[in-house]
Structure formats: C-alpha cells, structure tokens
Structure 1
Amino acid sequence: MEAYDVIIVGAGPAGSTLAKALESSGKRALLIDKQTFPRDKTCAGWVTPTVMETLKIDLTDYSNGRTLQPIRRFRIGMMGQAAVENNHGRVVSYGIRRCEFDDYLLGRTNTPKQLGTPVKNITRRDGNWLIDDTWSAPLLVGAGGHFCPVARLTGDGPGSHETIVAAKEIEFEMTHEQARACKARGDTPELWFCRDLKGYAWVFRKGNYLNIGLGREDNHKLSTHLQDFVATMKSTGRIPEDLPDRFKGHAYLLYDHSGRPLVDDGLLLIGDAAGLAYTQSGEGIRPAIESALLAADVIRQAPDFSATSLQAYGDAIAERFGHRGSVAEENFQIPGWIRMPLASTLMRSHWFTRKVVTEKWFLHQEVPTLAAGTQCAAF
C-alpha cells in the first residue's frame, strides 16, 4: 500500500492545478485519472486572459505547436433571428483545444501520476481512504468531472435528482475545402440562444479546427434541437455541408443549481465534480482553476482534514462565487417576468449582447483576478 497525504482523482485543469499548487506545501500528493494524456475532452474550448494570467501561462510558449486562437469579436443571436456582431477592439479570449490545454497543464506538474487508471473501489479505514487497495491518503479530492467517483461519496451523489446541463458537440480538423467554404471566422465565435432561453448553441473556429455544439438545461429533445441548429448553419453557409457523423455528449452542473456538498470528513470536491460552472454561460474552466487554488490554500493550512476544518474551503467558494440560490438573480440583468417578452428585442441590441451577454456572462470581466497571494503560493 502506497501512502500519500492527498489523492486527487481527475487530472484535468482542476486536478492538475491543485497538484501543482501543493508541490511546495510539503504535502505528498498523487494524481489518478482513468485516461492517458493527451486525451479528447468534450468542450467548446475557450479561456479568458484571466485564466492564462492566473495560471501564469506564457502565451508564446503555449502557442508553440498548440492551437491558441485570439478572439476579438462575438457574433450573437437568437435562433430564427439575424445575429449581432460586436468588435471588442482587443483580444478578450482565446480558443484552445482541450486535448492540448489539459496535457500542457498536466505536464507542468511533477506530482506522481497514475494515468489510464480508472478508480474501481474506494473504502474508508482508520481515517484513511483506500483506492483500489493500492493507494491510501487521509484526504481524497474529487476532480473527475460531473460523474467523478469521489462525488458519489458526498450527499446523494450524481443522479436524476440533479438538474444538469446536457450538451452535444463535435470538434474536427477541416479539410482545405471545408475551411474555404466555412464562413465562421476564427476570431469571432458565434453564440445562438434557444428561443426558450434554456440553452444556446455555438460555432467556434480555431484555425483549421471547427467546434460545433449545443447545450440545454432542459435536455428533452436535445438531439432534435441540435439537428435543427446544424441544418440552419449549413443552409446559411456558416459551417461546411459535410460534417463528421458523431457528436459527443457530456453533462455538468451550474453553480446556482447544484446542491452537491463541497466537503465532508477527508473529502473535498473541486471543478465540475463540485458543480461550479458559471450559471449564465456554463463555463467551467475558470471556476475549476480557481476552486483548485482555493482548495490548495485550505489544504496547506488545515490542522486536520475533518469536515469542520475543510469547511473553510466551502466558505471561500461562497465568497468567491456567491451563495447558491442567489447567484442567478444577482447576475441576471432583467427581472424574470419580462425575460421572455424582451429576449427577442434584447438579442438584437449591440449594447445588451456586448455588455451583458459577452462581457458579463461569458467573459466575467467584472470579476477580478483571484487574489495575488493565492496565485503566488501556487505558481
């Protein structure tokens, strides 16, 4: 049996960030992931400059052999209406491929790793967690996404009682002919909101790679919504006629709709395992990174790994992201009783689509970078 201080299940952005942040803490950590890296990850794949700054990523180094698509504009509309295009006049985000981004972050940590290793069995014995009767630690961190095996140990675990966002998408490298025919531009992602405001679709070009998808809170007839959207985009020439057949699915929880406990005795959840995706946009990368850094602070300072000591992490999450149940009304700019009647008009407004949809909901420009002390301690 190999003993560690912390075992992190999931080596995506949340897990790898936490592992790196703990390297100078004196805590001996182990990263476990069921996949080998690089691996495909279903995700639209864009990050804000704040994420790159928080992680202290050298953009020149990162772009050497990897996709890094600067984004300066957004094209936004409601399905069935004409889109509005806004030029921000500067780089406000970057398009990345998750297979590259996650592998890059994982490659920066010297933490011991067990990749290609699905967690089959988790037991508790004498204050320690035993993973597959091979590794043990007093603290177990769930960073394995929505269906993380560690999340099953807290509350009611993942299941039908949760209101999830379900999404289907595809990312592929276009042929020369497809790239020439595709009207979508790399520096201008397209966001198309469903008329009932229960989700949105996107077309996102990153160099020769094209990412297309649709996500909805109400996943009823998700495939039908996606097929209709793809057909419309094809008929208007926004995307090539010949797409790969198989769209991949994934699920996640919005922060304001998630009821997952974040901590328990010897347990802590970060990233999508904790249900931290932003309520309006569904973005999970920035919350994943920041939750990992907040967790690292608590782990470094906690006198023990009891639920009482780890609750400092839950308090830090609430302070950073707001208290669950109040986030949606605080962030949404228009009262609920006029959302539907005004939605069609608002989505034709340059001011609303730029200041509210893009800058507030998707870029979170009003949210300051995580405290410098937290970042410095990590990197």
Structure 2
Amino acid sequence: MEQCEVLIVGGGPAGATCARVLAHWGISVLLMDRDEFPRDKPCAGWITPSVLETLRIDPAQYRKGRELQEIREFHTGVMFGRQNRYDFGTPVSYAIRRREFDHYLLLHSKSRNILGEEVRSLERTPDGWLVNDRIRARLVVGAGGHHCPVARILGAQPAREQPIAAVVAEFELDPGEQAAFPLPPGHTSLSFLDDVRGYGWLVRKGAHLNVGLGVLGGTQVRGRLDAYLEHLRRTGALPGTGPLPFKGHAYLPFRGVAGRRIVGDRALVIGDAAGLAYPESGEGILPAVESAILAAQTILCASADYRPRWLEPYAAAVAERFGGAGSAAGRMALPAPVQRLGTRLLLGTPWLTRHLVLDRWFLHREQRPLVPRALPE
C-alpha cells in the first residue's frame, strides 16, 4: 500500500509545478499520470516569458538539448483574408515542444511518481482517499486536464460543458521544406474566425511546425479545420498535400463563479481541470503554473487540515488572479453580424490588434508575473 500526504493526479505543467513546491517544503507528495514521460501532448506549444520567470527557468540552460524558439513577430488577420505583420523586435514569447517541456518540469519536481497508471477508482476514507485500492492520501489534487477524475468528484460534467475544442498537429519539416518555408523561425501566424469564436495558427519551432485550430464549443471544428488547411496549402503557407498527425483535446475558458467548482472536502483542482484557460487565446500553461503555485501555498498554510474552510483561500486566490479573464463571455453572446463587424474592425486596425489582441489577450504584457513565495530556486 502506497502512502502519501498529497496525491496529485496529472503530470503536466500544473501537476509538476504543484509537486515541486510541496516536495521542496517537505510534504510527502506522490504524482500519478496515466502516461509514461516523455509523451506528446496536443497543444500549440508557446509560452510567454512570465511562465519562465514564474518557474525560475533560465532560458539558456533550458534550451540545451531542447527547443526554445524565440518569437518576435506575429502575422494576424481574419481567416482567409490578408494578414498584417507585427514585429516586436525582442522576444515576447517562446515556442516549446510539450513532450520536452512537460518532461523537464516533471524531472525537476523532485516528487515520487507513478507513471503509466490511470485512476480507476477514487474512494473516500475517514481520513482522506483510497485510489485504485492501493494508494492512500489525505488530500487529492486534480491536475488531469478537462476530463480529470478529481474534477468529476467535485461535480464537473464535461459532456454538459461548452469547452474550446482544438485539433493540433506537430511535425518535422525536411531540410528542403525548412529552407523554402515562408514562415521563418520566430514568427507565428494567427488567423481568426470572423465570429471571434476561435482561430487557426501556424507556429514555427526551428525544424518543427505546429498547425491547429481551436473553436469555442467545438462548432464544426473539423469542417473549419479542413477549410483552413486547404487555404494554407493553396496559398503556399503549408507544405505538402498528405495527411497530418492531428490530435484533439478540449479545455474550458475561465468563467469565474459560473465555472467549475475547484475546492471540496480534501480535494481541489488546478490548471485545465479547474477550467482556467484564458478565454480570448485559449492559453492554459500560464494559468496552470500559477494555479498550481496558489494551490501549493494554500496546502502549506492548511497545516494538514484539508477541510473546505482551509482550502477556500485557494478559490479566492484564483478568483482574484484570473477574475478579469471572464469578460469574454459577454462578447460571445453578441449577435453574429455584430461579432463579425467587430472582428474585422479589430483586426483591420493595427493599433487595436497590437495593443489589445496581442499585448493584452495573447501576451498578457500588462499583467505582473506571480511572485511565488513558496517556489524553490
């Protein structure tokens, strides 16, 4: 029988970050994931400098043997229309490969890990939880993404929610394609649907290319993807004509009090399991890392008393940190013709595109990085 104080379900950025903090401060923590690492993860795979700063990752050290492509320029516009270029001159974001990034964070978590085993059962006991009939924990932390079993224990019903549905492919360009590819390393292309419910992207990562599309509610995602790919190939923006290795995933944009319950008796959820993705961009890595740190700080302050009253400060901290992100819901409720007019005005005005769409929605340059008091150097 395995014993631990805290069991974290999910080894992605949220789970690994939470485990790193707790293990550093002497908490007996066990991290569990259904996959072996390194593993591929469907994701556009770009992060803002705040992610590296919050995690105290030295870019020069990280890129030794791993991809960390500086992003300095964005090409944006309405899908199937003309794109404008926005050169920031300095790195404002980084493209990473999730199989490398997630594995790096897991290795640095210093936690005990159980990999390649999914949660089959999660039962309450008088003093905590019994998982898979062989693991005892006083507290469970759900970091297993949109379908996390801990989130379900807290009442999440993924089938009844309206997530962002995304389809993503990442593949290596051959040397000829790399030389001829119109999007240089360090450049990212964003093509927005005219109803502002999603966008397609091309992210160049050295020898690799990431292409995908995300749509709120999953509305006709496959048909929209096919049309986007056909446009990219017709205009020479995407090489080849064969099938690409697409994978799908889903995640919830942050909706504040209308979103998921994130705290319960001896249980809480972080990252995508808590539904914390930024509504405009769909980015989930920064909210995953920040929510993991906020959760770890709450756990440390609870002093082994994991009743809801001692875990509620985490919910309050999340509301304070991400509360401004819920405003996108109102825009989505506007009539479709108003949405389309607004999208074309927004993306057709360079000042608005740069300072609202890119600086505010995608790069979060106005938001101060979280100062993680509990995170080890």
Aligned residue for 1:132? 132
Contact 1:46 1:94 (8 Å CA) reproduced: yes
The answer for the alignment partner of 1:181 in structure 2 is 180
Counterpart in 2 of 1:311?
Answer: 312
Partner of 1:86: 86
User: What residue identity is the alignment partner of 2:179?
Assistant: R
Do structure 1's residue 25 and structure 2's residue 12 form an aligned pair?
no
Q: Which residue of structure 2 aligns with residue 160 of structure 1?
A: 159
Secondary structure in 1 matching 2:57? coil
Measure, in 2, the Cα distance between the counterparts of 1:367 and 1:192: 24
CA contact (8 A) 2:170 2:211 kept: yes
Post-superposition CA distance 1:178-226 (Å, at most 9, x none) = 2233212221100000111111000111001000000001313211100
- Separation (CA, whole Å) in 2 of partners of 1:207 and 1:367: 29
Contact 2:297 2:374 in 1 (8 A): no
Partners of 1:246 and 1:72 lie apart in 2 by 27
Q: How far does residue 26 in structure 1 lie from its aligned partner after superposition?
A: 2.6
Contact 1:184 1:239 in 2 (8 A): no
CA distance in 1: counterparts of 2:39 and 2:191, whole angstroms: 28
Deviation at 1:25, TM superposition (A): 2.3
- The whole-number CA distance in structure 1 between the counterparts of 2:75 and 2:296 is 38
Aligned partner of 1:264: which letter?
A: G
Aligned partner of 1:231 in structure 2 is 230
> Aligned to 2:129, what secondary structure does the other structure show?
strand
Quick check: 1:322 aligned with 2:323?
yes
The 5 A counterparts of 1:18-57 are 18-57=18-57
Deviation of 1:323 (Å): 6.8
Aligned counterparts of 1:194 and 1:50: Cα–Cα separation in 2: 27
- Any unmatched runs of 5+ in structure 2? none
Q: Aligned-pair distance for 1:342?
A: 2.9
1:10: how far off? Answer: 0.3
Say if 1:141 and 1:267, in contact at 8 Å, map to a contact too: yes
1: CA distance, partners of 2:301 / 2:85? 47
The ranges of structure 1 where at least 4 consecutive aligned residues each deviate by more than 6 angstroms after the TM superposition are: none
Give the match's secondary structure for 1:210.
strand
Report SS of the residue matched to 1:255.
Answer: coil
Q: Which residue of 1 aligns with 2:354?
A: 354
Does 339-348 or 353-362 show the bigger shift?
A: 339-348
User: Could you tell me whether the CA contact under 8 Å between 1:20 and 1:109 is conserved in 2?
Assistant: yes
The whole-number CA distance in structure 1 between the counterparts of 2:66 and 2:157 is 34
1:192 maps to which residue?
191
Deviation digits for residues 58-90 of structure 1, max 9, x if unmatched? 111111111111001100010132001101111
What TM-score, normalized to structure 1?
A: 0.94
| Count of aligned pairs | 373
Once residues 367 and 3 of structure 1 are traced to their aligned partners in structure 2, the CA distance between those partners, rounded to angstroms, is: 39
**Aligned twin of 1:98:** 98
Partner-residue secondary structure (3-state), 2:295:
helix
AA partner of residue 242 (structure 1): T
Q: Secondary structure at 1:365's aligned position in 2?
A: coil
List gaps (5 residues or longer) in structure 1: none
Structure 2 residue matching 1:279: 3-state secondary structure: coil
Q: Which residue of 1 aligns with 2:5?
A: 5
* Mapped partners of 1:319, 1:360: distance in 2: 18
